Structure 1
């Protein structure tokens, strides 16, 4: 790991200053924000205390906007501003650690989350990686672009079950697993080919346009 000569910075998710570092893939570190493997430009706590030894952030996670407005035509149909939380609220006293369920992929998370700012739908949460998924992608296993759909509203998708009682309504053509109701998929209507989000090894062909609201990014130079 290489240290940078750049100044230390502060981030709202951590009480101590952070210093820039370059992380090698073989170090097998995990980002404390998105909870994914870490390599390249990152930040780590400058303190040497044991409680902070494993606090790292991707540079991209450090720079995430604190308030995000999804596009008007977003697949989720969600129109309220999304707030970046460093820790999900603890909603069940029996839970050892606070966690959330991502409305896009259906997986749990314990790190950063974008959560609806409205009290009317505060159960709407997104992984920070899912929040920036493009509208259209090119999948390595398919010749046509795939478009982002919500599995609960895409009634023109051929592979969707018509049964309202079914908890799984679409089957991924890559892993053959059923996609939970309301979760998102990438789909080609011409070929009736679709994948869940976990199977999208992609290159982007068309990005969404997001609005970063005035609260700005999560970090600042100290």
Structure 2
């Protein structure tokens, strides 16, 4: 069923990402095989969170010719307003095209698409950062790691060894008191396992990995 979304002027249709790639190849059957091979390596990006649309996942796309607007299914369902413990003073509003150059308070990264923002305080978060888990577990550490909303530059990540960005979010171990990780490092082991499963052709659902869809 087609939907309308406040961030885009045209209706959006549901599709499975791998079917979209397949359709593209069908249109280019008569073209050079090397060209098709190049498309196999092309990454399709969600217009909302600016992250990759994974083959096999559900998404929405604009059917207007020449329009590449696409959204993860989850990004299409994001609430227009959110309360987050990192900014308890005010609610955060979902903006689809920031009118200023912003820096995410969580990861210090920039962006051009969806953000959750408190315009009064110039407090901005990527939609992927606002969805970070409050705690994570790693097999190489005995205690759970908890999300904190500020870190110190003199402290170093227990996984990659690099220093934290002053004031940015991190995962810290309350049990040890001195062990912490960057946001991306905290889940690096899980991502590596997923890549291995994809490479071996093994389905996540067969392995019972939480969060697989």
TM-score strictly above 0.5: yes
Runs of at least 5 residues in structure 2 that lack an aligned partner in the other structure: 22-39, 191-213
**CA deviation after TM superposition for structure 1 residue 64, in Å:** 0.2
- In structure 1, the partner of 2:186 is 200
- In structure 1, the partner of 2:149 is 150
Q: 2:8 aligns with which of 6, 14, 38?
A: 14
- In structure 1, the partner of 2:96 is 86
Runs of at least 5 residues in structure 1 that lack an aligned partner in the other structure: 1-6, 91-98, 153-159, 161-167, 204-222
More helix by share: 2
Distance in 1, matches of 2:179 and 2:2, equals 48
**CA deviation after TM superposition for structure 1 residue 175, in Å:** 1.6
Would you identify which runs of 4 or more consecutive aligned residues in structure 1 move more than 4 Å? none
2:44 aligned with 1:29, yes or no?
yes
The question of whether the paired residues in 2 share the 8 Å contact of 1:151 and 1:169 is answered with: no
**RMSD (Å), alpha carbons:** 1.9
* DSSP-derived class of the 2:4 partner: strand
2:170 aligned with 1:185, yes or no?
yes
Distance in 1, matches of 2:64 and 2:187, equals 37
2:117 aligned with 1:103, yes or no?
no
- Cα distance per residue 1:148-192 (max 9 Å; x no partner): 11235xxxxxxx5xxxxxxx2321111222211111110113232
- Cα distance per residue 1:89-116 (max 9 Å; x no partner): 22xxxxxxxx421101111111100001
TM-score by length of 1: 0.68
- In structure 2, the partner of 1:38 is 53
Distance in 1, matches of 2:64 and 2:90, equals 37
* DSSP-derived class of the 1:111 partner: coil
Q: 2:77 aligns with which of 59, 63, 85?
A: 63
Number of residue equivalences: 165
